[in-house]
């Protein structure tokens, strides 16, 4: 589950997760462990371009489009859960990973300045040529106290 939800995405997670636009998607973007800003700093970034201005994207692994995204309203526990298939990188290489940021991409042609960071997940992984699977169980949950 997420370590932080970016301020710009608070209250919008379920909307973005529903993927209601014609060409929108959720993407996972890996970031190098070296030089990651604090969560307090990161949560204020409003675009993927801003996140990349404060942290280094690990481009060797590449971005992944999330598959089978589901949004579940859980009235019993008063929350919404957003889930997807596990994320797999094959034949990993490049710099060590310290975080994966899941973003809402409004359109396939969206520039990073239009991509909205939703959640940041602490991930400690050193690429070694093998496949790496990031296990996902509800990458985000939101709830309210009544």
Interval 79-103: pLDDT, tens: 888 999 999 999 999 999 999 999 9
Question: Nearest-CA neighbor of 31 among 58, 59, 64, 49?
Answer: 58
Give the phi and the psi of residue 71 in degrees, each rounded to 5. -115, 120
pTM comes to 0.90
Containing H/E element for 25? strand 25-32
pLDDT single digits (tens) 39-94: 999 999 999 999 999 999 999 999 999 999 999 888 888 888 899 999 999 999 99
Burial (0-12, 13-18, 19+ Cβ within 10 Å), 141: middle
């Amino acid at each position: 589950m997420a370590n932080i939800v970016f301020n710009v995405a608070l209250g919008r997670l379920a909307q973005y997760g529903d993927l209601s636009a014609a060409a929108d998607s959720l993407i996972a973007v890996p970031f190098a462990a070296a030089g990651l800003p604090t969560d307090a700093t990161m949560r204020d970034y409003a675009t993927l371009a801003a996140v990349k201005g404060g942290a280094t994207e690990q481009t060797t692994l590449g971005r992944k489009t999330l598959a089978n995204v589901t949004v579940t309203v859980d009235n019993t526990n008063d929350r919404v859960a957003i889930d997807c298939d596990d994320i797999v990188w094959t034949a990993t290489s490049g710099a060590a990973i310290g975080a994966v940021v899941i973003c809402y991409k409004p359109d396939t042609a969206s520039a990073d300045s239009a991509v909205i960071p939703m959640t940041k997940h602490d991930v400690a992984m050193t690429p070694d040529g093998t496949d790496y699977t990031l296990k996902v169980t509800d990458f985000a949950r939101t709830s309210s106290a009544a």
